[in-house]
Structure 1
Amino acid sequence: MRLSKLLLFIGLSVFVIAMVSWTITSIASEKNNGIGTVSAPASNEKTEDDAVQLMYDSLELDEKGLSRDAFHYAIYGFKKLQEKGQLQNDSILTVVDFDQPSYKKRMYVIDVRNLKILFHTLVAHGKNTGKEIAQFFSNRKESHQSSLGFYLTDVTYYGSKGYSLKLKGLEKGVNDNAMRRAIVVHGAPYVSESYIDEQGYIGRSLGCPAVPAELSKPIIQTIKNGSCFFVYNKKYRPSVPFRPEAEPA
């Protein structure tokens, strides 16, 4: 137990140091080069990669089903948003991994400051995205498909699906119609183990990342008001500024 706590502390320390170093060098590069999209110099790449890997290992994300590629993209985008001051809540990162089938727990709400997984649960994709496997994605209204990429969580409200959380899509042509499409986090009775037992996979939404009804309020309360929300699939092609110079293999 003591060793585990020590590893978590070391992982957090290395990650924070790497993020601070990355931000400082990025800002300096912007001033020197006059460009908006930059990457850390080669001398920092190993340190950052090691920090991300240590964080990934400390959280045991491999055992929990989240791919290294998904986490790599998530952390890169999180850092970009943090650097630009767009995160009101920069301690929370949500990752939805639509490479996994819907009968798997594929939503991860992570406290990046304290290296804790706060929620690891089921999450629905759109009905036209696929059945148990997510295959098709769209940014169009009425497509009833999920959209990939980075979002900022917005405000809460009570609507036809109960307590819900608006999402602001940040990637042009990828998910920037999210508000117009009313893509929100909400609870749904079809996101449950009983549905899996009955049909082999959970129910599907109209494009929203719906979560189990009993977890919807605590999840929404945790991630609302300006945290990073990332939806991944191997078909994801990040837009500027979310395109790492060295993308995952």
Structure 2
Amino acid sequence: MPLPRSRGRRLAPLLAAALLLATPASARDFLSRAITPLAPPSPLANRLTHLAPTADPQVLRLAAQALSCADPGAERLAVIDFSLPSTEQRLWVFDLVRDRLMFRELVSHGQGSGDAMASEFSNVPESHQSSIGLFRTLNSYEGSNGYSLRLEGLEPGINDQAFQRAIVMHGADYVSEAFIERTGRLGRSHGCPAVREEIAVPLIDSLKESQYLFTYYPDPEWLADSAFLRCPRDDRQLASVTR
């Protein structure tokens, strides 16, 4: 697995050596466990794991932690695992009120993030890279890519330029099994998490208006520094103060 691009600090020598020797799956698990607290899985994490048994439980655990920090009363949560190739269904949408999995879908990453595998992420305009971290959803609208969903990045320096970059969720004809059969991967966006055209409308409608999207990649600096992944138990709802 390619190492994520550094944002100004180097990996500790021991961590870097362990990553070089690790398999992709074990590297992902090592990073998550080495950099994030090993608190017992929360009830929400257990619910997500039950609803999406094919997803990496550690990714769902981090998503649950971030959401519990931002908005414990949220009704819907989408999770994207960008450590998986674009040929796999790596987007899950959860209805937390009815306790059900609404969607498990293909989702694209940005042209600048990689080919079949994403490995580079950015918060910079015109980078054409995807961003990681926690997002709040805004309104839906009809735009140049059809029915789309605006996203507000909640993590300073990580994804907080998403709105200015026009990073939105939308449908695209290059997100399909047929495209994978022809090219060996999905088509790529300018950084937007694009989904199949056939499900774009119901999926966007399930997430619009102050729900949440958590996008994961084992970036060591983000895992170490994200306020949403290290939220004190007595200081929840970090995101609410930014509204």
- Equivalent of residue 95 in structure 1, options 76, 79, 82: 79
Deviation at 1:73, TM superposition (A): 1.3
Deviation at 1:164, TM superposition (A): 0.6
Q: Which residue identity does 2:67 align to in structure 1?
A: F
Kept after mapping to 1: 8 A contact 2:172/2:194: yes
Consecutive unaligned residues in structure 2, runs of 5 or more: 1-37, 233-243
- Equivalent of residue 47 in structure 2, options 41, 48, 55: 55
- TM, length-normalised to structure 2: 0.75
Task: State the match for 2:133 in structure 1.
Answer: 149
Alignment RMSD: 2.0
Partners of 1:154 and 1:184 in 2: how far apart? 10
Equivalent position SS for 1:181: coil
| Higher normalized contact order (CA 8 Å, seq sep 6+, divided by chain length) | 2
Q: Which residue identity does 1:54 align to in structure 2?
A: N
Task: State the match for 1:135 in structure 2.
Answer: 119
Q: Which residue identity does 1:164 align to in structure 2?
A: S
- TM, length-normalised to structure 1: 0.73
Cα distance change of structure 1 residues 244 and 127 upon mapping to structure 2, 3 Å threshold: same
Task: State the match for 2:100 in structure 1.
Answer: 116
Task: State the match for 1:186 in structure 2.
Answer: 170
Deviation at 1:52, TM superposition (A): 4.3
- Following TM superposition, where does structure 1 have runs of at least 4 consecutive aligned residues deviating by more than 6 angstroms? none
Equivalent position SS for 1:218: helix
Give yes or no for the alignment of 1:205 onto 2:189: yes
Partners of 1:145 and 1:91 in 2: how far apart? 28
Cα distance change of structure 1 residues 53 and 96 upon mapping to structure 2, 3 Å threshold: closer
Consecutive unaligned residues in structure 1, runs of 5 or more: 1-41
Output one character per residue of 1:189-217: Cα deviation in whole Å (capped at 9) or x when no partner.
Answer: 00000001111111000000000011110
Q: Which residue identity does 2:122 align to in structure 1?
A: S
Partners of 1:102 and 1:132 in 2: how far apart? 5
| Number of equivalent positions | 193
Task: State the match for 2:10 in structure 1.
Answer: none
Task: State the match for 1:244 in structure 2.
Answer: 230
Partners of 1:245 and 1:177 in 2: how far apart? 22
Partners of 1:140 and 1:192 in 2: how far apart? 28
Task: State the match for 2:236 in structure 1.
Answer: none
Give yes or no for the alignment of 1:173 onto 2:157: yes
Partners of 2:65 and 2:45 in 1: how far apart? 13
Higher CA-based Rg: 1
